Structure 1
Amino acid sequence: MTQTDDALIRDILTRTRTIALVGYSANPARPSHGVASFLRSRGYRVIPVNPGLAGQEHLGEKVRASLAGIREAVDLVDVFRRSEEVAGIVDEVLAMEPRPLALWTQLGVRDDAAAARARAAGLLVVQDRCPAIEIPRLGLPPLA
């Protein structure tokens, strides 16, 4: 990892307050559940996105069926879906008003063409990383 990558990740994670987590699972054994819980414990507001759980409450938030169902500003969209689904998720992100600061794809999730579209539209992009790993690695404190 380069210093530039660290600076980008630090910038995103320190400017972010609200995260839409696409692919949230209610199953505590799933990585998306653990990462969402970790982020919430660090002071981030996490809005779970999963059409199968839409309308239920998890992490103190109503689960949304899609990004289009989020009516308030989101700083970061964190993607726990297969790489093949990232292009469609980028379409949804680019339709959000206001647009998020950043798009983040989880470990093993990568679509360089979709990431390039997001960057061209002004979003910061991190791929194939996990904020629950990056926050402790960079020594970032919990949000105030």
Structure 2
Amino acid sequence: MRSGWDRLRHAVLFEVVALLLVTPVAARIIGTEMGKTALFAVGMSTLAMVWNAAYNWLFDMSLLRCGRPLQPRGFRVRAVHAVLFEAGLFAAAVPFAMAMLDLDVWQAVLAEIGLASFYMVFAYLYNWAYDVVFPVPVAACVSGE
């Protein structure tokens, strides 16, 4: 297992690197000024982190209310968790994009599909690179800590 500080470093670096990569590209594709796009990107990052905390708490509470254990989680529970998380974030992000970037519904939907696609690929590559640069200590891997 990773320490709390390592997890914090992981999360902060994830957001900073993603924002540095996505902001200029999104500004160019959407056709908005860099400052406005950066403000939107930081707002989306904040929205995603808040939604992540709230959603995971709500999901765990729902499992407990249904008499289901929190662990272990099989494929089906993990799939439902992931799909509902993304659907909720998408539902909040589209109106946010419309308001922040002066987009119509269709433009905001396309922008959010683009961002979600970027973040899926980025998360995979970032987590792989993070594990290479900051490997889990061998003792933690062996002992299951």
TM-score range normalised by the length of the shorter chain? under 0.3
Structure (1 or 2) with the larger CA radius of gyration = 2
| Structure (1/2) with the larger helix percentage | 2
